[in-house]
Structure 1
Amino acid sequence: MDISPFLHLTIELSIGFFALLLITKLIGQRQIHQITPFDFISALVLGELLGNAIYDPETTIFFILYALFLWGFLMYVIEKITQKFRKTRSFFEGDPSIIIRNGKIDFNELKKQKLDINELQSLLRSKDVFSIREVEYAILEPSGSISVLKKSKYSNPTSEDLNLSQKKVCLPVALILDGEILFDNLKSCGFDDNWLEKQLKSHKIDNAREVLFAEWKEDEGLFILKGPINR
């Protein structure tokens, strides 16, 4: 069997993979819910360029790289332009849209954003709001997500509202992940492996490899979760 086609495909996929990874690093990383329409189109085009090039035997690997890096360069330039010139952000990234104002739905804005009531309710439910009557303001973000400000009588009371004393906010720090001790995190908390070993033994655990996840929180102490280790 001729393995040259497989070797050629392996080389093209590997180069394409690392080229896309490099472009992603250059233009910055965003979470899925932060992706703007421009980012979405760019991702589709990059994937299409790579896919077509891989399955087109007449396309050389140099053409793949040129197409990827040219498109990546254009994306990089646009990112820099939007960072430097505020007025360009509206065109490339879009503007947030107030679709509920002072408790009333702006139907003109809703129509402009091509949303119906069912879609609006679905977006609100994603924010744990199950009735439009609870909403004072709702803003549709350029990414398609929604930000909600509830009416005062439906909002959760704060510690200040209840005249409660302010508590220190502590950040949880992972100490063990998939059976491996995170020594840098352990040291940043002011502990060492001897302290951790004593803590584990107090929970009847002989070895960190038995621990799926463990975290330290200054105001609550050590939390340990045993379970199957992902290897």
Structure 2
Amino acid sequence: MQEYITLMIKCLVVYFVIIIALRIMGKREVGELSVFDIVIYLVMSELLAISITESHESILKSLVPIFTLAVLQIIISWILLKSKKVRDIFDGKSVILIHNGHINQDAMRKNRYNIDDLMSQIRSHDLCTPDEVAFAVLENNGQLSVLPKKSCKVKHPDPLISDGIINKKALKDLHRDSEWLKACMKEEGIQDVKDIFLCIWQKNAFFIIKKEIDSQNKMF
């Protein structure tokens, strides 16, 4: 009887530990989980399973590594927030499979994305052919985002500037360079691209959001 009571107590402790750990690590939808997030959750679940099934072992032996993983996830998330290069390594990069009706077959091969899946996603957006697609973007989470030509308002699906960093890949796709973009920003009254939080090139104009300033008058 004592063994079952101990098991029930462990289950309750594990339940609240999972809730607390997930709250500490932040809110993310399942579809937005990176490979790093998935690995953390799998390891945590395995540690918790061991702590429940091994009745002779103290649950503290599992709680310590679990919260260690939670702290590690917070640290890595902070680094990912500050560095796009590290973020690309952990989360991967989005890939444009269709640009203005043209299918990038090389990108499809590299990402092992077949034509049947592509056409299925196109049809799911009430479209019939790739020619009706402005952009089809394979996102980091494996989902395919389809932007129809009739409603697409941007010249490129990715921002040209994110958190003060110029997206050189997007500029290359548009046959532009950094100097051109900096000149455009000066025309918009912005002298330094580092002051820009988000810049998207729309068909009729630039959509720009400047960085906010905190209480100590420092950019963040």
Q: TM-score, normalised by structure 1?
A: 0.60
2:172 maps to which residue? none
The answer to whether 1:116 aligns with 2:114 is yes
Give the one of 31, 44, 49 matched to 1:33: 31
Out of 144, 147, 159, the position equivalent to 2:145 is 147
Give the CA deviation at 1:131: 3.5
Percent identity, aligned pairs only, is 31
Query: How has the CA–CA distance of structure 1 residues 5 and 122 changed in structure 2, closer, same or farther, with 3 Å as cutoff?
Result: farther
Q: Work out which of the residue numbers 44, 47, 52 in structure 1 matches 2:45.
A: 47
Query: Which of 35, 43, 60 is the aligned partner of 2:58?
Result: 60
Q: Distance in 2 between matches of 1:50 and 1:124?
A: 42
Q: Flag the 1:22–1:130 CA change in 2: closer, same or farther, 3 A.
A: farther
Note if contact 1:16-1:64 (Cα within 8 Å) is conserved in structure 2: no
Which consecutive residues of structure 2, in runs of 5 or more, have no partner in the other structure?
153-220
Distance 1:113 1:127 in 2: 21
Which whole-Å deviations, capped at 9, do the CAs of 1:22-52 have from their partners, x for residues lacking one? 1111111111222222222222222122112
Distance 1:6 1:124 in 2: 54
The reply on whether 1:103 has 2:101 as its aligned counterpart is yes
Q: Which has the higher Rg, Structure 1 or Structure 2?
A: 1
Q: Which range moved further: 115-124 or 58-67? A: 115-124
Q: Secondary structure at the match of 1:59?
A: coil
Secondary structure of the residue aligned to 1:15 is helix
For 1:195, the equivalent position in structure 2 comes to none
In structure 1, list runs of 5 or more residues that go unmatched: 157-231
Partners in 2 of 1:123 and 1:59 — Cα distance?
A: 49
Secondary structure of 2:134's aligned partner? strand
Structure 2 Cα separation of the partners of residues 16 and 95 of structure 1: 35
Matched with 1:92 is: 90
For the residues of structure 2 that align with 1:55 and 1:135, how far apart are their CA atoms? 52
| Pairwise CA distance, 1:93 | 1.2
Q: CA RMSD in A?
A: 2.1
Deviation at 1:121, TM superposition (A): 2.7
What is the aligned residue count?
Answer: 153
**What does residue 134 of structure 1 align with?**
132
Matched residue, 1:180: none
Tell me, in whole angstroms, the C-alpha distance in 2 between the residues paired with 1:151 and 1:80.
37
- 8 Å CA contact 2:3–2:55 kept in 1: the answer is no
Work out whether residues 124 and 146 of structure 1, in 8 Å CA contact, stay in contact via their aligned partners in 2.
Answer: no
TM-score normalised according to structure 2 size: 0.63
Residue type matched to 1:50 in 2? L
Contact 2:100 2:131 in 1 (8 A): no
